[in-house]
Structure 1
Amino acid sequence: MPSPTSNHLPTARNTTSWLLLITANTLWAASYVAAKLALQDTSVNVMLALRMGISALLLLPFLIARRSQLHLTRQLIPQLLALALIGFVINKLLEFGGLALTTASDVALLITGESIFTAALSWLLLRERFKPLTGFALLLGFVGVYLIVERSLIPNIPSGGGLLRIIGDLLVLLALLVESLYTVRAKSMLVKHSPFLITSASIVVSMLFWTPIAAWEILGTGWHPIGLVAWLSIAWMAIMSTVVAYLAWFKGLAKVDGSAAASTLFIQPLLGTFLAIVLLHDQLTTMTVVGGILIIVSVYLISRN
């Protein structure tokens, strides 16, 4: 889930743009349930390699058609390799490796906290201005994260769901930190290049890493047949939650200011949690709900500032 970038455009009440932003977040919200269904039949590595491979095949013609806009240089190639490794290999391994251990509802709530980590890293690494209200919002967000992971005010390990769930949540948090690093590092490139172009290039380049990862696992353990539900889930994540969602997001951002677009990010924790409860029968605790509310309030305050 990319953080909205401020494009200094006035907020436009453009119905199509808002529908595109809502569509993107709806598709991302459904990806957690889809991943859980896929992981019932295959491993994290194979699932992600197939997802990124299908996405890369769909995005490659787009990149070839716009290769002149990418302006590949000796400096850009290692930057793209780094972004692909950080944003679409390490980040995804941590995020979906964590999802395999925890609940889809936990991930849907925690993933919203990306803006919290991005704001903190932007202050630490880019020395962006840090307002007092932003500091308060960060504190709220981190308290919310703690409540979701611990499910208690007082540390109690293992807490509800067992130690594996806590490890899964912590892996997702580490994924958020890596994703925020991707966002911060990509800022300089986004000044010169289209965000969708850079994202597409990163996904295609990530196959340089995913191909040997998947091949190593298949050679070591053999190919295990994947059922229809898992294939449909992987196809959904590759086509709808990656290609269509990113295209809709960046198209919507073209006419809606970044801070205003951030309001649509709240669809993910709300719809993602709802789908996890209905389709996967996830159970929510009081602390999980309170933690989710604190994260949502935190992200709202950060986006307003």
Structure 2
Amino acid sequence: MLFTATPDAYRSVHARLHLALAMLLAGSSVVMTKIVGASLPLFLANALILLPASVVLIGLTWWREGPVRVPPDAWRPLILQALCGIVLFRVFLFYGVPLTSAASAGILTSAVPAVTALLAWLLLRERLGTRAIIGVALTALGILVLTVPSASPDAGARPLLGGLFVLGAVFGEASWNVLSRVSGARLSPLAATTVVTTFALLLFLPLAVAEALRFDFSSLTLGDGVAILYYALGATVVAYVLWFSGVRYLSASTAAVYTGWLPISAVALSALALHERLTLWHALGLACVLCATFVFARSEE
């Protein structure tokens, strides 16, 4: 008898494709950071990225949900999420990626689940189960592997310092995750992301304006403009829409597995787009963080 796919089966397949594509796009943001950061100063670059992203998100939220009404008690946690999860994350990433390789940075950013679990244990007194502890240990091993001097032949002048900056970005993203658990904001994921992204743009603006007054915009090329728009719309807005359009049809543990596509995307694109040389140490580090991702996914079951 021929197999007939049910509507639920089709929905599950589409949801999984959406999650995989979302993480592939998110992984490309590490490579885009290196490209955009080579042409623009830090704060101006991020303002130019967040401006179109905020405009599109505001329009999308208005179209799907109407005007966003933020409860008075939600302003502070949302601003803190913008500061930690976007501003600090991007500042540390823009400082760190030029000092190390994009491949190593992409692998290091996969430490977010482990750092989130540690912060939740320290700050929220959430229990660290056996699987979570194993996941943290595997992540730590993956990070240690990348500190081997010969791990990244195409790293910048100070790869260890660059790695520390990237880990600072990881702590910023993990702080966002912890803050989102305690914020109590009665907002949809789309509305919350729109508000946080807009707040982050406002936080970047003062220093971005100061940098813009001294920057020679005639030095920018068409490729720079395409990279900025791709970072804003592809690696940010489209990745977000794909993720949340798929995650609602799958369990948290299943969705967590697909975050493993992020370092795979970052490593592959660093070789294809930036022509970075990949080593056995990259493969070992990637294997460790991918195993950690699967362990964390099992811990959600």
Which of 65, 72, 75 is the equivalent residue of 1:74? 72
Task: Give the structure 2 partner of residue 282 of structure 1.
Answer: 276
Q: Is residue 46 of structure 1 aligned with residue 44 of structure 2? A: yes
Which of 163, 168, 176 is the equivalent residue of 2:170? 176
CA distance in 1 between partners of 2:269 and 2:154 (Å): 21
Task: Give the structure 1 partner of residue 100 of structure 2.
Answer: 102
Conservation of the 8 A alpha-carbon contact between 2:100 and 2:157:
no
- C-alpha change, 1:50 and 1:221, in structure 2 (3 Å) is closer
Higher-RCO chain (CA-CA 8 Å, sequence separation at least 6): 1
- C-alpha change, 1:12 and 1:304, in structure 2 (3 Å) is farther
Alignment of 1:184-199 (within 5 A): 184-189=178-183, 192-199=186-193
Which of 167, 174, 178 is the equivalent residue of 2:161? 167
Task: Give the structure 2 partner of residue 85 of structure 1.
Answer: 83
Which of 136, 139, 142 is the equivalent residue of 2:140? 142
Q: Is residue 268 of structure 1 aligned with residue 262 of structure 2? A: yes
Conservation of the 8 A alpha-carbon contact between 1:150 and 1:166:
no
Task: With the length of structure 1 as denominator, give the TM-score of the two structures.
Answer: 0.87
Identity of matched residues, %: 25
Root mean square deviation of aligned Cα: 2.5
SS of aligned partner of 1:143:
helix
Give the Å deviation of 1:202.
Answer: 0.3
CA distance in 2 between partners of 1:168 and 1:301 (Å): 27
Which of 203, 208, 229 is the equivalent residue of 2:202? 208
Task: Give the structure 1 partner of residue 250 of structure 2.
Answer: 256
CA distance in 2 between partners of 1:197 and 1:217 (Å): 30
- C-alpha change, 1:74 and 1:278, in structure 2 (3 Å) is same
CA distance in 1 between partners of 2:182 and 2:18 (Å): 25
Give the Å deviation of 1:78.
Answer: 2.1
Deviation readout 1:233-278 (Å, 9 max, x if unpaired): 1100100111111111111111111110111111121222112112
Give the Å deviation of 1:159.
Answer: 9.5
Task: Give the structure 2 partner of residue 59 of structure 1.
Answer: 57
Give the Å deviation of 1:64.
Answer: 4.1
**Residue segments in structure 2 that go unaligned for 5+ positions in a row:** 1-8
Task: With the length of structure 2 as denominator, give the TM-score of the two structures.
Answer: 0.88
